[in-house]
Amino acid sequence: MERAIDLSAGESGAPLASLEDECSSAPLVGVSACVKQGEHTPFHAALDRYVEAVVRGSGAVPVIVPALGPLLDMDALLDRLDGLLLTGSPSNICPSHYGGEPRPDDPADPRRDATTLPLVRRALARGVPLFAICRGLQELNVALGGSLHPRLHEVPGRADHRSDKSLPYAERYAPRHVVRVLPGGRLSSLLGSTETIFVNSLHGQGIDRLAPGLRMEAVAEDGTIEAVSVEGAPGFALGVQWHPEWRVTEDPVSRCLFAAFGAAARARASARLRGCSRGPFFSRREPVPRL
């Protein structure tokens, strides 16, 4: 029987957050949701492996962020979050967001686009730690002014990075190709002397024009950008094209990435805790007058 995870401590038993007064808690990480069509009505959803990776890999409390677009008060949300995880998805970002031609036959999620693209910009501006995976990496690039190859496998010289749907589900997430980690970057500093890693591959889109302010951190053998960081970001801001959330506790690179994200979220949570007496969740509002 699997044991429950103590959100106040890591696997080693080390504390992940202070437990002081009513303001104390483990870091709170927002997990981006997709809009799915149910039998009668749409619903918002995030895959279990992402929310579980936030707990197992980062020692944080996951909160699913609905794809509400302009209905979502993003600053009120970010007041409460210590990190933001942008998930992968079968859907593609609408090409209109980066000046591309419409593709009506491609899977789309316009309500997610309307939520994550502005949310990325607000999170970065406010120094909220951000970890972007697969579609999330593409959202990060588009949100900051970059563009995508809508069908990477049609680009001359590029490999087919899509998963083989004929394989059992677990086998689709097996490592498939080598990625070269570029020296001197954020990813290189996290992984130490590691120069190449072996990653899974389940994406149809890929970065075309890298957005201003993004640094390329890793590249596949065919030239596909596999990881980026945000230059000058005040907090953790990293995106990867593969899926480190898959069996996060078994892969050393995945553990390293989620642990670093968790450490950044804990640092933000600690800073908010220190400001608790000043009302960190409502720091943009005027104090309530005494009666």
Catalytically active residues, by annotation: 134, 243, 245
Identity of the amino acid at 54: V
State how far the alpha carbon of 177 is from the alpha carbons of 69, 122, 136, 197, 199, in Å.
36, 34, 20, 8, 6
Residue 207 and residue 223 in contact, taking contact as beta carbons nearer than 8 Å = no
- Taking CB atoms within 8 Å and a gap of at least 24, the contacts of 247-254 are 247/173, 248/49, 248/52, 248/53, 248/56, 248/57, 249/11, 249/56, 249/57, 253/191, 253/194, 253/197, 253/199, 254/53, 254/57
Q: Dihedral, CA atoms, 172, 149, 145, 112, nearest 10 degrees?
A: -50
Helix runs in 173-251, H state only: 186-191
- Sign of the dihedral through C-alpha 144, 149, 151, 157: negative
Within 8 A by CB and 6+ apart from 101, the residues are 95
